[in-house]
Amino acid sequence: MNVFLTGGTGFVGSEILKQLLDSGHTVRCLVRAGSESKLPPRPGVEVTLGDATDAGSLQGAMQGCDAVIHLIGIIREVPSKQITFERLHVEATRNVVEAARSQGVKRYLHMSANGSRADGDCDYHRTKWRAEEVVRQSELDWTVFRPSLIIGAKGEFVSMIAGQIRTLPILPVIGDGRYCMSPVAVQDVARGFVLALEKPETIGQAYHCCGPQSHTFDELLDIFAKVLGKVPRTKVHQPLWLMKPAVALLESLPSFPITTSQMTMLLEGNVCDPADWSSTFGITPKSLEEQLKAIFG
């Protein structure tokens, strides 16, 4: 297939691009002007300049493509640069969906998020849901994926946690550390997208993508330490009555590591049942320990 890919320079997008090429597809990547260097020339890849938030830049961009994979999303807003959940999740999706419709591309795969829902506790989840609504209300042959926390060698979460365990004798933990996660490997998420292109039975379906086990955040830190060959670190649990106002005050600083929205999602947890996704695509999700051993050796 000829696949139109947005977000191909990102953490998940680069793995999906790799697997698309390995599977024999050709890929046309939407790249913003000035970011071309993030996609070095390689066989099977075509770069087209544009911006998903600019509908005009998508005119004709998908001509000749058989499918669209739309991955663009953010985890942190920067309103001063017009980087907002509403703009990057909802408006960009609306533009890509309309471009696909007008250019005759019927097959559409969409990256959403576990926890996406209309009554979500933060704008991230609510805008992810509204983007899904745009997709569901379209006339396209759509499939939606909702991954939990995605783990990979190039992921910011892995780098952050590994860095803390390697350098800090005591780990700060927000709240009680009992909120749970089911991390999923980036390779497994990417495989679902690539396989869906050849599975018409996945049209009109949404799939939750999670790892096979749920871990509290404290347990997750201990698994990281084990794989890295470190003794489990002492954890200092920061009370929420202190953390919430502190984060609200400092989150606008680019160097501050967490926002109110991110903290809300962290405390909510990030787990799901991957059975439908696993059985549909023949994927056996890797455990967190397997994922980390593959990354760190």
pLDDT of residue 2: 98
Which pLDDT tens digit goes with each residue over 131-145?
999 999 999 999 999
Say how far apart CA 8 and CA 207 lie, in whole Å.
21
**Residue 35: which pLDDT band, with cuts at 50, 70 and 90?**
confident
DSSP characters for 161-206? HHHHHHH-SEEEEETTS--EE--EEHHHHHHHHHHHTT-GGGTTEE
- The stretch 156-182 carries a mean pLDDT of 96
Give percent above pLDDT 90 in the chain. Answer: 94
Per-residue pLDDT, 87: 98
pTM of the model: 0.96
Q: What angle do CA 148, 153, 154 make, to 5 degrees?
A: 85
215, β-bridge pairs: 181
For residue 38, pLDDT over 90 is answered with no
pLDDT score, position 34: 86
pLDDT at 152: 96
Q: Which residue has the higher pLDDT, 37 or 195?
A: 195
pLDDT score of 147 more than 90: yes
Q: What is the mean pLDDT of the chain?
A: 96
**Per-residue DSSP letter, 212:** S
Encode 264-277 in three state secondary structure: HHHHHCECCCCHHH
pLDDT at 289: 96
Distance CA 231, CA 290 (A): 19
DSSP 58: G
Q: For residue 209, report the phi and psi dihedrals to the nearest 5 degrees.
A: -120, 110
For the chain, which domains are there? 2-150+185-210+272-285 (3.40.50.720)
Residue 247: which of 68, 98, 76, 5 has the closest Cα? 76
C-alpha closest to that of 185 among 49, 64, 27, 19: 19
Give residue-wise pLDDT tens across range 66-122: 999 999 999 999 999 999 999 999 999 999 999 999 999 999 999 999 999 999 999
Q: Inform me whether the pLDDT recorded for 39 exceeds 90.
A: no
Task: Locate 51 and state its tokens.
Answer: 């911006």
Q: DSSP per residue over 70-85, as a string?
A: E----SS-BGGGTB-H
